[in-house]
Amino acid sequence: MHPVAILTPSFNRGSTLPRLYQSLVNQSCKDFVWLIVDDGSQDGTSMLVQNWIEQALLDIRYVYQCNGGKARALNAGFNYLNEVTLIVVVDSDDWLLSDAVQTFYDYLASYSEISDLGGFFFQYKDTGGHLLASKKTLDQPTLLNRYQFNKVYGKFDGCNCYHRRTFSQLRYPEFEGENYVGPTVLQLQMATEGLKMLFS
């Protein structure tokens, strides 16, 4: 298994997945596996992904499960990818810049000595290249837990990357009948375990 994995939970996103797929094909570094956890799609997603697998341009894995929500899909991905070093969660309607995977490797190498590093957080950019933030943007990579980050920078989403220190022990909570658990819930659990994110 590659050291880096892209994890994409998906539900009826056959219309947006091709853009993500193309962004992964365009990566300058191809040393990654792409795991798609299909959360019960009925829009032909499986056929779309099978076609990509047959093209063999990327190392793609596909897992289908009954619809249970994003948290369950992410937990399934964490279980499947237990041998990798870094899991990068990329939603089915997002895409990556062509140097993204190389950046993940660069960060792993640069910050390998931080024993309480539980992952990385990269700010989103819109299609015009502008950073998406609420209070203020980061001037440089900053190591904080999620509570500390929210207090200073506000609450906003970004590209969440989880180190094995995190996904080897933590999972999103799953509740019967609940199909959505916010993406930061795991990061709040990390804080209670003494793990921080490098926000960039």
Instruction: Evaluate whether 144 touches 65 at the Cβ level (below 8 Å).
Output: no
Res 193 pLDDT > 70: yes
Which helix (H) or strand (E) segment holds residue 33: the answer is strand 32-38
Res 163 pLDDT > 70: yes
pLDDT band for 22, please (50, 70, 90 cuts). Answer: very high
CA gap 144, 128 in Å, rounded: 28
Res 130 pLDDT > 80: no
CA gap 19, 7 in Å, rounded: 15
Mean pLDDT of the chain: 93
Which helix (H) or strand (E) segment holds residue 162: the answer is strand 158-163
pTM: 0.94
- Greatest alpha-carbon pair distance for the chain in Å reads 47
Which structure tokens are listed for 189? 């659990």
The pLDDT of residue 134: 60
> How do residues 85-107 score in pLDDT, each as one tens digit?
999 999 999 999 999 999 999 99
> How do residues 48-89 score in pLDDT, each as one tens digit?
999 999 999 999 999 999 999 999 999 999 999 999 999 999
Which helix (H) or strand (E) segment holds residue 76: the answer is helix 70-80
SS3 label, residue 102: helix
The pLDDT of residue 175: 84
Instruction: Evaluate whether 197 touches 188 at the Cβ level (below 8 Å).
Output: no
Per-position b or e across 175-196, b if 16+ CB within 10 A of its CB = eeeeeebebbebbebbbeeebb
SS3 label, residue 50: helix
The pLDDT of residue 180: 81
The pLDDT of residue 133: 63
The pLDDT of residue 157: 80
Instruction: Evaluate whether 8 touches 37 at the Cβ level (below 8 Å).
Output: yes
Better-scored residue on pLDDT, 197 or 126: 197
Single-letter residue type at 199: F
